[in-house]
Structure 1
Amino acid sequence: MTNKIYDVVQIGYGPVGQAMAALLGKTGQSVAVFERWPSTFSLPRAAAFDHEIMRVLQGIGCADKIEEKVVPFIRYHWVNAKREILLDLPYGGVAASGWENGYLMFQPDVEKALDEAARSYPNVELNLGWQAEEITEHEDHVEVTFRKGEIPEPGKWVATNETRTVRARYAVGADGANSFTRNKFDIKTKDLGFESEFLVVDIRPNDPQILYHLPEGYQVCDPARPTTVVSRLGNEHIRFEFMLLPGEKKEDMLDLEKIHELTKEWILPEEGTIIRKIVYRFNSNIAENWQNNRVFLIGDAAHVTPPFMGQGMCSGIRDAKNLAWKLDLVLRDKAEESLFESYQVERYDHCKTLINMAIELGKIICIPDEKEAEKRDQAFFSGNIPPFPEMPILTNGILHKNQNGEILSPTGELSLQDFVSYQGKTGRFDDIIGQGWTIISTKADPRDLLTNNQIALLEQIDVKIVHISNEENTDTVYDLNGKYAAYFNEKGLDAVIVRPDFYTFAGVPTLEELPGVVDDLLSQLHLKVSKELNV
């Protein structure tokens, strides 16, 4: 064990762990990352992510590379056993975050870009091939002991006698659904009530044009065999998910003849190569506690969802973004550790809502009874169904409430990002102005309404104060497409305060109200620097 104390030691380096390492790396914190396997996984697991996650990837510098490899999710069809359309959902278009609403991916492409982003920060130390086997918490740091492993054959990890103990101020467990970190502290998980086995098959067609014969997402609601087809798993692959029926065995489903029988409706055996086949149990659970003193859980270590909303990896990256900005403030000695109390408060309900939404979709898709399926189909044909669920917003945590304790729109909603021009540069807002806490007004310079002490405090935590105008000049940020003006007019606002994770802390109807809202923000952040400035 060396004397060095890292800011963060991280256990796990899947896509959520990669995002976390890059996010912390960008803030300048020293991060020691340990992963059991000696290299990133070469096969896909997750299939989709959304515009909010692309904005996170934009912030760590890999969105452009990823955009070259992914496919916008444009159409989503549900069909019944007769292949009659139950639902034709237009899914495409640019969303609030300034990116396409959703994307389909070949996960290794995304992981490669995330890995390169994390490695670009000299303060991020990667240690691959090490498994965590002990965590000890102390008053001001944690110690984690790792054991080196060898891979004598693919998929087999064998421990060696070499160990290493690392000290850090905080530890993050990004180590998956079977999390060592979670189990070490005996953190219980709550079963949310959905479990089903699916055969997952990924195929690389010989002719990529096969990928264009179906909508990007194709849901077969057939009681004889509920099936999901993702026809554009990136640019070169197609995915099938077949629900196992009662009495079917895993080993029988993995038989090549069985797979060819199931996939022949869409692709013949000679038309492509199977790159992955696995029987996977879809679960739904959430950890009761996401923090144990100086140790935090993110991603599948904290929550597991069925795949029907495409939000598993997304939720984990949201965890990383939320926790990273809070760790940064505390590690820079700007905020008290009590700031961490908002982490689970903010992420738990958001995750649980998404998991429950996925479960409800799964219940509709996976009806095994023909009569019940017919009732479902008729409900779709008659239009007697609820609308497709909307994404949840933040409802708890560091958010502004009015005098009655209410959260009013757009508080808790994702903020707008569009193209702007400033000081000779043009691009998306985050690329030109930067990410982090931001105060934006389309009416005037917010500084004109704030006191010197307020501005000093905001500067201590790197809050960006921005006047966006529809007139191009050197003093203001130019609203290139007029979207900010339209947004502020639609919402009836003079200003907004945006959190580092892009959720809106507050919408401010008049600039005269801004100082009071800023005071509320400063009081909720548990800042240490307020004492230094006698505020």
Structure 2
Amino acid sequence: METKSFECDVAVIGLGPVGAITANLLAHGGLRVVAVDREPDVMQVPRGVGIDGEIMRVMQTLGLAESLEPFLKVFRGAQYIDADGSVVATRPAASMEGSQGWPDRYNVHQPEFEQVLRDSLRANPLITELVSTEITDIQQGPDGALLHARGTAGSAPVSIAARYVVGADGGRSTTRRIVGSTYEDYGLNQPWIVADFQVSAKADLPDINTHYADPVSPAIYINVVRDIRRFEFRAAPGEDLDAAVLPDNIWARVSPWLSPEDAELLRAAVYTHRSLVVDKWRHGRILLAGDAAHQTPPFLGQGLCTGVRDAAAVSWRLRDVILRGAQGSLLDSYGVERSAHARHFITTATELGTKLTQPTKESIESLNSRVGREGRGVPPRLGEGIWDSAFGGGYLSPQPRDGSGVLVDDLVGFEFGLIMTPEIAGTLDDADLSSDRITTLPADAKLEAWLLEHGTGAMLIRPDRYVYGCYPGPQELQTGLAALRRSRALRETVAAG
């Protein structure tokens, strides 16, 4: 059987949400992509059920936020109930618009989220989608990588020549195995039984997500979207996990809340929650993202979000390297930044999981504030990388609206954006900023007030919406711009291929 051959700028392995967003972002930046997945289509299994306002900014960048919104439900709040049935801690409902320009938190049914992304990449002429295709080997050379694949349904073998490769192929990543990355293990290894239901109007269930304490088998209830509800139960020590997902046993488990007369069991599965981060995110021309790079227990609802942050961080770097002549060393900072950031969420989620058997108001609120949930606390800083530590860089930026009501990401695009007072804008050379591929936004009255509120005269924001630096005046800004110029080292635009 003759081998089918493809060429591209970036091969993306795995088309779950992280791989699909990566493929879409790369093509949005002008790169040619071959996207490979071993499954024939979106998997209809219980997985992620939450995204946040930061992830909606990524969808906004792709022009997909409006397509996704009908499938979302703004987060209604959560409660933590102790073994005596008392509510000991709560989380508030999300506001209609938070600091990211979107509600802080949403519930989502992951297959619907993925379908929006698949529809987008299938409509993009820069993306070639290869489904039912499994990568078997990757060989690296000085100018690129050659991927070997086979069809899972007996179709012709495939070879893909790519400048770079992003492995976003999940917790059992073939890419990670090929490159030999190993995990740093933070000690969690817990099987949980997860079941999704379609409920009728007769079902008497909480309107908000609920965590039920139990000394042996704590449970989590999630009001997902529309009539879809989820229950998650920590497996008891030594429990027969194959038997646990049988329908009769699932119904017995949910009997305090649901009966077969109230709902249809859609699917059940066992997920083993782990807390893992790879030791190395880049191997030459191969980079890891999503669950291939880290595994996050779900107690913060940040597993999917953490992977999408990887996609945004790696995509602008690959765009700059391949199309804008930046040095390949720009990619080295990707794993350093993302590893530290992901580790903060993973260790916090792991600790939160230990509190579910005996939750207290103080412990729950303290852990939630460590990641800045729903406006409480501050999200973590990136690991050392492409940002100005002397001027407040490395934190997630807010997204304001200008005086016309337009969200600033829509004005900036998938580029570095510089919001600054008119006085500072008057000191800069527009030609230099244009060659640096920085979109400038001299502030109108509303944005100037926003800058003043944040105690700065200029805020330089990266394409993945993290702050590069906040500068009080033109001299400090010029120093920051010079440092960024050295980090990116852009040359004249080069042709893809």
Q: TM-score, normalised by structure 1?
A: 0.86
Q: CA RMSD in A?
A: 2.2
Which residue matches 1:463?
Answer: 438
Which residue matches 2:325?
Answer: 334
Which residue matches 2:164?
Answer: 170
Which residue matches 2:253?
Answer: 262
Aligned-partner Cα distance in 2 for 1:118–1:427: 26
Residues 310-349 of structure 1: CA deviation (Å, up to 9, x unaligned)? 1111111111100000000111133111111111111000
3-state DSSP of counterpart to 1:202: strand
In 1, are the aligned partners of 2:402 and 2:444 still within 8 Å (CA)?
A: no
Task: Please list, as runs of the form range in 1=range in 2, the aligned pairs for 1:35-46 lying within 5 A after superposition.
Answer: 35-46=37-48
3-state DSSP of counterpart to 1:86: strand
User: Structure 1 residues 55, 178: CA separation in 2 closer, same or farther (over 3 Å shift)?
Assistant: same
Which residue matches 2:413?
Answer: 434
Aligned-partner Cα distance in 2 for 1:382–1:358: 12
User: Structure 1 residues 385, 22: CA separation in 2 closer, same or farther (over 3 Å shift)?
Assistant: closer
CA positional deviation for 1:225:
2.3
In 1, are the aligned partners of 2:89 and 2:365 still within 8 Å (CA)?
A: no
Which residue matches 2:479?
Answer: 516
Which residue matches 2:374?
Answer: none
3-state DSSP of counterpart to 1:181: helix
Residue type of the alignment partner of 1:323: V
In 1, are the aligned partners of 2:80 and 2:212 still within 8 Å (CA)?
A: yes
Instruction: Pick from 229, 232, 237 the counterpart of residue 246 of structure 1.
Output: 237
Residue type of the alignment partner of 1:180: T
Aligned-partner Cα distance in 2 for 1:345–1:382: 29
- After TM superposition, where is structure 1 displaced by more than 6 Å over at least 4 residues in a row? 381-387
3-state DSSP of counterpart to 1:459: helix
Residues 383-413 of structure 1: CA deviation (Å, up to 9, x unaligned)? 99666422312241011133xxxxx43x222
Aligned-partner Cα distance in 2 for 1:341–1:434: 24
In 2, are the aligned partners of 1:421 and 1:432 still within 8 Å (CA)?
A: no
3-state DSSP of counterpart to 1:53: helix
In 2, are the aligned partners of 1:336 and 1:528 still within 8 Å (CA)?
A: no
Which residue matches 1:218?
Answer: 210
Which residue matches 1:393?
Answer: 381
Are 1:105 and 2:93 an aligned pair?
no
User: Structure 1 residues 485, 86: CA separation in 2 closer, same or farther (over 3 Å shift)?
Assistant: farther
Residue type of the alignment partner of 1:139: P
Aligned-partner Cα distance in 2 for 1:383–1:130: 43
User: Structure 1 residues 251, 98: CA separation in 2 closer, same or farther (over 3 Å shift)?
Assistant: same
Residue type of the alignment partner of 1:436: E
3-state DSSP of counterpart to 2:422: coil
Task: Please list, as runs of the form range in 1=range in 2, the aligned pairs for 1:372-521 lying within 5 A after superposition.
Answer: 373=358, 377=360, 380=361, 388-390=369-371, 391-402=379-390, 408-409=391-392, 411-420=393-402, 427-441=406-420, 443-444=421-422, 446-451=424-429, 455-470=430-445, 479=446, 484-521=447-484
Instruction: Pick from 181, 198, 201 the counterpart of residue 195 of structure 2.
Output: 201
Instruction: Pick from 202, 207, 225 the counterpart of residue 234 of structure 1.
Output: 225
Residue type of the alignment partner of 1:25: A
Residue type of the alignment partner of 1:283: R
Task: Please list, as runs of the form range in 1=range in 2, the aligned pairs for 1:53-64 lying within 5 A after superposition.
Answer: 53-64=55-66
Aligned-partner Cα distance in 2 for 1:494–1:219: 44
User: Structure 1 residues 262, 465: CA separation in 2 closer, same or farther (over 3 Å shift)?
Assistant: same
Which residue matches 1:370?
Answer: none
In 1, are the aligned partners of 2:4 and 2:157 still within 8 Å (CA)?
A: no
Which has the higher mean CA deviation after the structures are superposed, 268-277 or 504-513?
504-513
Aligned-partner Cα distance in 1 for 2:286–2:212: 42
Residues 143-170 of structure 1: CA deviation (Å, up to 9, x unaligned)? 00110122xxxxxxxxx26201110111
Q: Where does structure 2 lack aligned partners over 5 or more consecutive residues? A: 372-378
CA positional deviation for 1:434:
2.5
Q: Where does structure 1 lack aligned partners over 5 or more consecutive residues? A: 151-159, 368-372, 403-407, 471-478, 531-535
Aligned-partner Cα distance in 2 for 1:384–1:503: 25
3-state DSSP of counterpart to 1:87: strand
3-state DSSP of counterpart to 1:8: strand
Which residue matches 1:347?
Answer: 338
User: Structure 1 residues 161, 98: CA separation in 2 closer, same or farther (over 3 Å shift)?
Assistant: closer
Aligned-partner Cα distance in 1 for 2:387–2:442: 22
Which has the higher mean CA deviation after the structures are superposed, 508-517 or 330-339?
508-517
In 1, are the aligned partners of 2:9 and 2:322 still within 8 Å (CA)?
A: yes
Aligned-partner Cα distance in 1 for 2:92–2:350: 22
3-state DSSP of counterpart to 1:195: strand
Residue type of the alignment partner of 2:414: Q
Aligned-partner Cα distance in 2 for 1:179–1:445: 51
Residue type of the alignment partner of 2:426: D
User: Structure 1 residues 469, 133: CA separation in 2 closer, same or farther (over 3 Å shift)?
Assistant: same
CA positional deviation for 1:433:
4.1
3-state DSSP of counterpart to 1:439: strand
User: Structure 1 residues 203, 265: CA separation in 2 closer, same or farther (over 3 Å shift)?
Assistant: same
Residues 332-388 of structure 1: CA deviation (Å, up to 9, x unaligned)? 1331111111111110000111100110001111x4xxxxx4xx55xx489996664
Identity of aligned residues (%): 29
Aligned-partner Cα distance in 2 for 1:31–1:17: 11
Residue type of the alignment partner of 2:409: D
Instruction: Pick from 124, 142, 152 the counterpart of residue 127 of structure 2.
Output: 124
Which residue matches 1:154?
Answer: none
Aligned-partner Cα distance in 2 for 1:221–1:187: 37
Bigger radius of gyration, 1 or 2?
1
Aligned-partner Cα distance in 1 for 2:253–2:5: 57
Residue type of the alignment partner of 1:218: T
Aligned-partner Cα distance in 2 for 1:299–1:333: 25
Are 1:134 and 2:137 an aligned pair?
yes
Aligned-partner Cα distance in 1 for 2:365–2:33: 52
Which has the higher mean CA deviation after the structures are superposed, 380-389 or 337-346?
380-389
CA positional deviation for 1:109:
1.1
Aligned-partner Cα distance in 2 for 1:414–1:201: 34
